[in-house]
Every structure is written in C-alpha cells, then in structure tokens.
Amino acid sequence: MPPIRILHLITSLDIGGAEITLARLVGGLNRQEFESRVVSLIPPGPVMKLVESQGIPVDSLWMQPGQVNPAGLFNLIRLLRAYQPDILQTWLYHADFLGLLAGKLSGISTIAWNIRSSSMDFARYRPLSGLVARACALLSSLPQVVVVNSQTGWRQHEQFGYHPRRWELIPNGVDTTLFLPNPSMRSALRSEWGLFANQPVVGLVGRLDPQKDHPTFLSAAAQVIQKYPAVSFVCVGDGPSHYLTDLKTLTRTLGLEQHVIWAGPHRQMSAVYNAFDLLVLSSAYGEGFPNVVAEAMACSVPCVVTDVGDAGRIVGDCGVIVPPRDSTALAEGVLRLLLLSAAEREWIGRRARQRIQDKFSLEQMLAAYKALYLSLSSQEE
C-alpha cells in the first residue's frame, strides 16, 4: 500500500510553537506510512532548515504578511493539483482559511485544520488577522476535522463560534531524549552568559511579543530582587527591535539593569533550560499548549506559569500557577520556589520530568496524529 500523502500548509516557518511541532511531526512519522510535504505561506524562516534536514521537501508561496495576494491562492491551487495530497493539513488561521479555499477549488476531499492558540487579543495585531479568524469560525464546519492542542483552545474557540464536524485534541509532544537534565550544558551556557555556577537564575523563553507579557515579568523581577537580590533573570527570544528598546527602557526604570540579561535567540534550547533554576511563563493571553513549559519540565526545571491556555494542565502539581497580568502573584510564585532548598527544587524537577514522560511525550503525539490520519484516510476510501 502506498504511503498516505499529506501536505502541511502553515502560515510561516519562523521560530514558534506551531512551527516546531510541525517539524517534529513530519520528522517523526513513519515514512513508509506517510509522505509529508510542507508549504509556508510567507517566505520561510529558520524552521525550514530543520524540516529539510529531515528529508522533507519545503515550498513557499512567498506571500507578504498582512497583504491580500490572489496570486498566492492561485499558486497554492496549482501546487495542490500537481501534488494531489490525500490529506491537506493546515496550521494557524491564515493557512486554515487559504487552505480551505484552495483545497475546495483543487478538489481535495480531506482537509484538516489545526488551531494552536486559545483566546487571542486581535486588537494587538493586524486587522486582517481578526477578520481571517472570524471567517474561519463561520466556515469551520467545512473541514473534516479541527485539531486543537489544548483543552482551553477547544473551549474558547467554541465560544468564538467554531462549530466543526469533529474536534480532535492532540497535545504537543516533547522529545525527552533531547530535552533532559545536562549539567555540562548548564555550566557552559552560564559561563557564556557571565553567571556563576551556583547563582540563582530565573528564565523566560518567548518571542518579544505583547502576548508573552514581558512587562509583567520585569515588574515581578523588581519585586523579587527586593527580597532575593542575588537572583538573575534571563530573557531568551527575538522580536522587533523597537519593542526590545521599550523593554530595555522599562528594565532601567525598574532598576534591573544589573539583574536582567537579554540573551536573544538561541539554537540549543535544551542548554537554555538547563541553565535555569526556574522557568517563568508570564503570558497574558493566547497560549494553547506552550512548548517552553513542557520542554523545561523535561529538563527537570520547575516552572511558574500564568493560568493561560493549558499551561496549568501541563504543570499540574509540579510547579506554581498564578493569574495572568498579576506581577505580585508572579513574584510570590517565583519566591516560593527560589526559597526552597536545592534538594526540594530538585525533587520538584524530577517529578516535573516524569509528568512530561507520562503525559506529553513525543511518542504519544505521533501516535495520536497517526491514528487521526489513518481514520481520515479510511473515511476517504
């Protein structure tokens, strides 16, 4: 029997949770059972190399963000007609919308959408993003299935107006052979950042975007150093230079210049997590299944997270959950873990890793997608 041909259409291949999950999925599926191809709406970003390194072909429609481009639709139709996938799997609102149109016009019978967020604040983004999401809600009964990676995303998109034929919940999966405790990585990266081996370090990993709420993180940091002045805070991630300038200005205003390191992006994320004593997710909205939390836990790093998306479900009783946009609660959560003994934090870290192995492993995610694609293929027959 020939492999099931799946074309994955995604908005971008920049660094992000959806993009990394897609790369892990196409790289992990059995090639004798599934033939994968990836197409990016906009010019491909760094994740393209990760996908291609696994032997998966990548194309781009070369569309520009925020612009309506009919040529992109026609190019996608031509590509779909040439490739004739058994399943068109789309990722994120713009790809869901454009993929549905192109798929129907190309005669693709099986289309699956993939929602990666919970409640988005569309007022903070281009007007087109909100319009596309609302259009997706109206059209959500047309694809065969809508995949979500979080219970919160499922619930909030129902409230937003989604009414699909079928929901499928598939949480993200973490490769726990890649993300694991590594003392040598810890010491090497701390040395690179100019930090002492035993210095308390609290980290935040996320793109520079209002969704991640760096201002609340910085406000909490200012409160933490009043009671624990030895701690350092490291922010890992990239974003618009003007936003970084604003955040650095806030850092100076809060008197945090000697306590905060803006590390930028990093290619070896396992090393990043290992360099932390705690990871903080300070997001204000929009998260579905935040990979950074599960990856840090797999490295035995305790987490303090805001109660957005399924962050609390991931952490369970192996960390601290606080309300979003509450810097005082966030500071108290950080202090609660920092003031534990090293042995107590290590015990929490071991339990955190075991929780990821038990509930959110890469193998579990791959098995769930395999079952989904096989069920869709059998329906087509």
Q: What's this model's pTM, rounded to 2 decimal places? A: 0.93
Q: Which residues are 148's β-sheet partners?
A: 115, 169
Which pLDDT belongs to residue 271?
98
CA 220 to CA 328: how far, in whole Å?
6
The pLDDT, as a whole number, for residue 1 is 82
Q: What's the Cα-to-Cα distance from 218 to each of 51, 234, 276, 330, rounded to whole Å?
A: 35, 11, 17, 10
Predicted pLDDT of residue 65? 82
CB-based contacts of 267, cutoff 8 Å, min separation 6: none
Residue type, 234: V
Query: Are 330 and 322 within 8 A, CB to CB?
Result: yes
Q: With cut-offs at 50, 70 and 90, classify the pLDDT of residue 380.
A: low
pLDDT at 42 over 60: yes
Q: What is the pLDDT of residues 64-74, one digit of tens each?
A: 887 778 899 99
> What phi-psi label fits residue 193: left (phi over 0), alpha (psi between -120 and 50 degrees) or beta?
alpha
Quote the CA–CA distance of 281 and 93 in Å, as a whole number. Answer: 24
Domains of the chain and any CATH numbers: 4-172+362-380 (3.40.50.2000), 183-359 (3.40.50.2000)
Sheet-wide strand order for 167-169: 58-60, 34-40, 4-10, 87-91, 111-115, 145-148, 167-169
Give the pLDDT confidence of 175-234 residue by residue, as tens digits.
Answer: 999 999 999 999 999 999 999 989 999 999 999 999 999 999 999 999 999 999 999 999
Binned at pLDDT 50, 70 and 90, residue 290 comes out as very high
Side-chain-facing half-sphere of 93: CA atoms under 13 Å: 22
Q: What pLDDT shows up at residue 129?
A: 77
CA distances from 6 to 88, 118, 143, 358 (A): 6, 26, 15, 28
Give the confidence band of 378 by pLDDT, cuts at 50, 70, 90. Answer: confident
Locate 196 and state its tokens.
């002492």
Average pLDDT of every residue of the chain: 95
Q: Is the pLDDT of residue 44 over 90?
A: no
Q: How confident is the model at residue 15 (pLDDT cuts 50, 70, 90)?
A: confident
Q: Is 349 exposed, middle or buried (0-12, 13-18, 19+ CB in 10 A)?
A: buried
pLDDT tens sequence across 253-264: 999 999 999 999
Contacts of 130 (CB under 8 A, 6+ apart): 122, 123
**pLDDT band, very low/low/confident/very high, at 121 (cuts 50, 70, 90):** low
Looking at the predicted structure, is the pLDDT value of residue 125 above 80?
A: no
Residue 126 pLDDT class (50, 70, 90 cuts): low
Percentage of the chain exceeding pLDDT 90: 90
Q: How far apart are CA 223 and CA 282, in angstroms?
A: 15
The pair of structure tokens assigned to 275 is: 């360099």
